[in-house]
């Protein structure tokens, strides 16, 4: 089973992100139903590891908090853009949550994540895309704001690959004790 831990996004935020997904020919835009904020990619696990992970994640607790999705950017490889994303304003709450999830994953026997955590919502994957169009997109939406995301828990998802876009299924939802302020 292929897994990741993420924050689901409220419908209003997803709608705002969906509205800006245009203007870059050749981009493979992420469908609205697949938008999320990844906290930790887990990868393939078997049944016993899945149960260990479920139990370890159940111990993760932080006070509820709010996130703001704002701005856009891109990742690149060999100086070519590979992915467009919406950014996350710096958040102590998110940093604490992600660190606790990372510790829980390691306690469940997963190898430590070696990449630095860079919170973002993936908008599109890029192949042979015109760099000028990517730069125009980044400039046009540099002041973009999608709104507030109340974080009152997180979700363990499975990924099901096939033809077309992957299908994400919520396996376990973890809720914090109190609502976001």
pLDDT value at 1 more than 70: yes
Give residue 76's pLDDT. 86
Rounded CA separation 94/22 (Å): 29
Q: For the residues 22-28, what does the mean pLDDT come to?
A: 93
Q: For the residues 145-155, what does the mean pLDDT come to?
A: 95
pLDDT value at 181 more than 70: no
Give residue 164's pLDDT. 80
Give residue 180's pLDDT. 47
Per-chain mean pLDDT for the chain:
93
Q: For the residues 132-149, what does the mean pLDDT come to?
A: 95
CA neighbor of 94 nearest in space, from 40, 143, 42, 158: 40
Angle in degrees, CA 125, 141, 129, rounded to 5: 30
pLDDT value at 177 more than 80: no
pLDDT value at 83 more than 50: yes
Per-residue pLDDT tens digits for 29-40 = 999 999 999 999
Q: For the residues 80-87, what does the mean pLDDT come to?
A: 93
Give residue 178's pLDDT. 56
pLDDT value at 115 more than 50: yes
Q: For the residues 39-62, what does the mean pLDDT come to?
A: 94
Plot region of 99 (φ>0 → left; ψ -120 to 50 → alpha; else → beta):
alpha
Which CATH architecture best describes the domain 2-175?
Answer: Alpha-Beta Complex (3.90)
Alpha helices in the chain (DSSP H): 11-19, 47-57, 92-107, 131-140
Q: Do 34 and 174 touch, CB atoms closer than 8 A?
A: no
């Amino acid at each position: 089973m292929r897994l990741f831990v993420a924050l689901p996004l409220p419908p209003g935020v997803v709608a705002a992100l969906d509205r800006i997904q245009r203007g870059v020919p050749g981009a493979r835009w992420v469908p609205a139903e697949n938008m999320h904020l990844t906290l930790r990619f887990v990868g393939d696990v078997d049944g016993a590891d899945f149960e260990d992970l479920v139990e370890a994640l159940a111990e993760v607790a932080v006070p509820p908090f709010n996130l703001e999705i704002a701005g856009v950017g891109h990742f690149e490889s060999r100086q070519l853009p590979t992915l467009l994303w919406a950014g996350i304003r710096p958040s102590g709450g998110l940093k604490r949550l992600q660190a606790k999830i990372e510790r829980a994953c390691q306690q469940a026997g997963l190898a430590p994540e070696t990449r630095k955590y860079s919170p973002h919502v993936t908008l599109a994957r890029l192949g042979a895309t015109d760099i000028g169009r990517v730069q125009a997109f980044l400039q046009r939406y540099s002041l973009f704001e999608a709104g507030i995301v109340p974080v009152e828990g997180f979700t363990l998802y499975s990924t099901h690959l096939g033809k077309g876009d992957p299908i994400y299924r919520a396996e376990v939802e973890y809720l914090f004790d109190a609502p976001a302020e």
